[in-house]
Chains A and B, each alone.
Chain A
Amino acid sequence: MAARKPSERRHASSEESADLNLVPIMAIMVILIPMLIYMFTFHTIKVQRVSAPRRSTETSKANEDKKKALNLTVIIRQNKGYTVTWEEEHHQGIQDGGPIGLWNAPSDDWCDKEEGYQGCVLSDGVCRCYDFAKLYNTVLKIRKDPNLVDPKKPEKRINISAEPEVNWGIVSRTIDSVTCMLGVVENEGDKDALEPPGGFTGMEHFKSAAPLLDDPVRLPGMGDKEQVRLCKPLFEQVVFAMVE
């Protein structure tokens, strides 16, 4: 029996490796890839900024020299609505914007789990929503009042407080309504939203609200060519507080 030539041996091994059956591996991949694509999120994740409450370390004399702070506070009441309070320089005590009650939705679609509007709750069989439109109009009026907010150096801070049972979805939508200037995109082809003159007429109008965007800016920590368009600020610094 004659021995094989080295070249034949090389050929034989290459033929064996070509016979490797990849079909079962392909079958696994075909299952794995759709599964991973299903797990993959295609949403755009952004963030809402909130500051932790801070204690003032300034001396009382320094406080005397400073202008009295607006101390604008929005309190969210469980299934009742909002209370907006603030302090004025020439008035004693806390000013109250009056209660902003819940709005009765025209249909239960507003409370639908999947397609409904965040901030609407079904209680006793009636779909009712927190009135973000009225809240926005109230806060905007305060922001534009030169007696309350200095147009040259506007107050940025707003306190948000809620009763313990109020859920994050409602708090988050409330933050939206008080931190950004909002408008409406009139035509489908329009890029930017326009501020509605006289504010929002009601919740149905507010449902189509979109933020009024500022010029592009580069934020600290962003790359050299990265820029972002943030919304025009209303009261941009949100501080959480607890209702006793």
Chain B
Amino acid sequence: MVDNATEPQEVQQTVRRKKRQHTDGDGTMNINSMMDIMTILLVFLLISVTSDPLAVKEGDLLKLSRSYASFPAFLSVPMLITKLEISVDQKRAVSVVCKLDGRTCTEQDYTNPNIRLSIDQMNKEHGKKDSLLIVPLKNALDKAVKQLKDDIADQPPEIVEKFKHNQGVATIICDQGIPYRMIAEIVYTTGMAELNDMRFAIIYAGASG
């Protein structure tokens, strides 16, 4: 009688033991699903980091201005202005000259507020210091405008429609420390490349300032 009562318990224990052995297997973990998640995440991050021109990483060479402006950024010709160089559509167009007390800046100087940033006069129209036209930048912008027009032509109608409303727009991603003289030169040059609507990228600060 006692044997009969304990029998189902023993059977249950044996089943449990067998189940445990089956799941433990040879001690290795099944990481295939984990790999899938990781691969999707990796691809998503790689695309986001490399393709969006507005996904900028702030550092000593580039710190965006904080602003209350809430106008959204649209598809347009992107221009990046750091303390080191000006790039158009992620391609270097012209380098920025940095001086501190008459000498060329070293890597550590870029955090110093007394540095003087400018464009070499050799890169300006007729090599004149007072000229507002930056020749290599103008050439790069002309090329980028043409490229954007060609790229858009092959896109679906809704993207073509979006582009039509934003023709002549340049998005300027500019470091806080760039002097007004350089900004004026860039604005003038951009205007000369048929981009009359300039939009300066900022980080939306709301009320935090």
Which A residues fall within an 8 A CB radius of B? Answer: 22-23, 25-26, 29-30, 32-33, 36-37, 39-41, 43-54, 76, 113, 117-118, 121-122, 162-169, 171-173, 175-176, 179-180, 182, 184-185, 193, 207-211, 213, 219-222, 228-231, 240, 242
Report the bound CA distance from A40 to B178 in whole Å. Answer: 24
Report the bound CA distance from A54 to B66 in whole Å. Answer: 28
Rounded to whole Å, the gap between the CB of A210 and the closest CB of chain B is: 4
B46→A50 contact, CB < 8 A: no
Total number of B residues with any Cβ neighbor in A under 8 Å: 66
Given contacts A26-B38, A118-B66, A211-B70, contact A36 B45 (CB under 8 A): yes
A47→B71 contact, CB < 8 A: yes
A45→B202 contact, CB < 8 A: yes
A22→B67 contact, CB < 8 A: no
A-B contact pairs, 8 of them (CB 8 A): A29-B42, A46-B67, A47-B72, A47-B200, A168-B176, A172-B202, A176-B69, A222-B72
Question: Considering the complex of A and B, which 9 residue pairs feature the smallest CB-CB distances, nearest first?
Answer: A52-B191, A164-B181, A169-B176, A221-B165, A210-B207, A47-B199, A220-B165, A172-B65, A36-B45
Rounded to whole Å, the gap between the CB of A188 and the closest CB of chain B is: 11
Rounded to whole Å, the gap between the CB of B14 and the closest CB of chain A is: 28
A167→B204 contact, CB < 8 A: no
Tell me the nearest residue of chain B to A207, going by C-beta: B209
A33→B188 contact, CB < 8 A: no
Whether a CB of chain A sits under 8 angstroms from the CB of B57 is yes
B200→A176 contact, CB < 8 A: no
Report the bound CA distance from A55 to B175 in whole Å. Answer: 29
5 other contacts beyond A45-B201, A45-B203, A209-B68, with CB at 8 A cut-off? A40-B49, A118-B66, A165-B179, A168-B183, A209-B207
Report the bound CA distance from A237 to B110 in whole Å. Answer: 33
Interface set, chain B 19-64, CB cutoff 8 A to A: 31-32, 34-35, 38-39, 41-42, 45-46, 48-49, 54-58, 64
Report the bound CA distance from A153 to B105 in whole Å. Answer: 51
Given contacts A33-B45, A49-B199, contact A76 B57 (CB under 8 A): no
Residues of A close to B58: CB separation below 8 A: 41
Rounded to whole Å, the gap between the CB of A227 and the closest CB of chain B is: 10
Report the bound CA distance from A165 to B144 in whole Å. Answer: 29
B45→A47 contact, CB < 8 A: no
Report the bound CA distance from A180 to B206 in whole Å. Answer: 12
Tell me the nearest residue of chain A to B189, going by C-beta: A52
Partner among B163, B178, B180, B196 whose Cβ is within 8 Å of the Cβ of A163: B180
Given contacts A26-B35, A118-B209, A210-B207, contact A167 B178 (CB under 8 A): yes
Given contacts A164-B181, A167-B180, A168-B177, contact A51 B198 (CB under 8 A): yes
Partner among A54, A118, A121, A193 whose Cβ is within 8 Å of the Cβ of B207: A193
B38→A52 contact, CB < 8 A: no
B179→A176 contact, CB < 8 A: no
Question: B165-181 vs A: 1/0 string, CB under 8 Å?
Answer: 11000010011111111
Partner among B34, B166, B177 whose Cβ is within 8 Å of the Cβ of A169: B177
B48→A208 contact, CB < 8 A: no
Report the bound CA distance from A22 to B33 in whole Å. Answer: 11
Residues of B close to A228: CB separation below 8 A: 70-72
A47→B73 contact, CB < 8 A: yes
B179→A45 contact, CB < 8 A: no
Residues of A close to B74: CB separation below 8 A: 221
Report the bound CA distance from A175 to B174 in whole Å. Answer: 15
Residues of B close to A169: CB separation below 8 A: 65, 176-177
